[in-house]
């Protein structure tokens, strides 16, 4: 699950469920007339969210994986959850990969933050990101800083060892109506002790674009595509999925 998506999950307004509570009957002071108050509407926040999607990662070898998660909204804009990823590496002995983990995301007073971890038999991942949003009409834009650490014990087609990535840049989104497109551009610095470490991959540019489509207050569809490159290499990453709040 991309950090962008978790950020948007926390930022999104949670729908409310309205329950009508009938009035309880009673008697007047003289005990003769029955009085029935009007029904009362009780509003409660839909705090649970469930999402699922498909991810692609490729640079010669192709990793296809399904991602699933469920989270709870502690406050209107703070979520905590658990997720799972099941994947298959095409072109590298048909290796299967699996990870499960925890994540959290918040959005408060234009500040946002995301943190999470994933653990599997062949790989450990720790990731996080933070930023600030400026609002100008329908546009939301601001700085973004992201970090990720991967410890891979088995070559899944992309080498094994430790990889640390730090990205700094900016993000712009246009929020108007049901379709909400976004794009981002970041500089990436990579520190690697991988057994196939290639110096040309130390620095690069991470560019991405995507959109969220608000089907209804409870349903959202999202998609995005990222490219990591520096002229000597290129890695493509794509994601598409849906989220339901209840």
Q: Is residue 133 part of a domain?
A: yes
Q: Is residue 142 part of a domain?
A: yes
Q: Is residue 218 part of a domain?
A: yes
| Percent of the chain surpassing pLDDT 90 | 58
Q: Is residue 27 part of a domain?
A: no
- Per-residue confidence in pLDDT tens, the chain, 246 aa: 689 999 999 999 888 776 666 666 655 566 665 656 666 666 678 999 999 999 998 876 688 999 999 999 999 999 999 999 998 887 655 678 899 999 999 999 999 999 999 999 888 999 999 999 999 999 999 999 999 998 887 766 556 678 889 999 999 999 988 999 999 999 999 877 655 555 445 689 999 999 999 999 999 999 999 999 988 778 899 999 999 999
Query: Domain range holding 192?
Result: 3-13+46-245
Q: Is residue 28 part of a domain?
A: no
Q: Is residue 31 part of a domain?
A: no
Rounded to the nearest 10 degrees, how much is the dihedral formed by the CA atoms of 244, 108, 101, 146? Answer: 120
Q: Is residue 140 part of a domain?
A: yes
Q: How many domains does the chain have?
A: 1
What is the reported pTM? 0.83
CATH number at residue 204: 2.40.128.130
Q: Is residue 238 part of a domain?
A: yes
């Amino acid at each position: 699950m991309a950090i962008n998506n978790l950020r948007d999950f926390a930022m999104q307004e949670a729908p409310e469920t309205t329950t009508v509570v009938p009035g309880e009957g009673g008697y007047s002071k003289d005990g003769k007339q029955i009085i029935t108050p009007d029904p009362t509407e009780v509003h409660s926040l839909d705090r649970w969210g469930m999402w699922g999607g498909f991810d692609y990662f490729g640079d010669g070898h192709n990793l296809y994986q399904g991602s699933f998660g469920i989270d709870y909204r502690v406050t209107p804009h703070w979520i905590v959850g658990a997720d799972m990823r099941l994947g298959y590496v095409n072109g590298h002995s048909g290796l299967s990969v699996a990870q499960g983990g925890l994540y959290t995301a918040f959005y408060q007073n234009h500040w946002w933050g995301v943190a999470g971890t994933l653990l599997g038999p062949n790989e450990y991942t720790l990731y996080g990101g933070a930023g600030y949003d400026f609002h100008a009409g329908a546009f939301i834009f601001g700085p973004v800083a992201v970090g990720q650490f991967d410890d891979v014990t088995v070559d899944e087609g992309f080498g094994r060892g430790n990889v640390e990535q730090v990205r700094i840049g900016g993000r712009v989104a246009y929020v108007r109506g049901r379709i909400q497109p976004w794009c981002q551009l970041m500089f990436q610095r990579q520190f690697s002790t991988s057994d196939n470490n290639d110096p040309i991959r130390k620095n690069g540019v991470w560019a991405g674009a995507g959109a969220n489509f608000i089907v209804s207050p409870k349903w959202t569809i999202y998609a995005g595509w990222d490219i990591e490159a520096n002229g000597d290499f290129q890695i493509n990453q794509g994601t598409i999925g849906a989220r339901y709040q209840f």
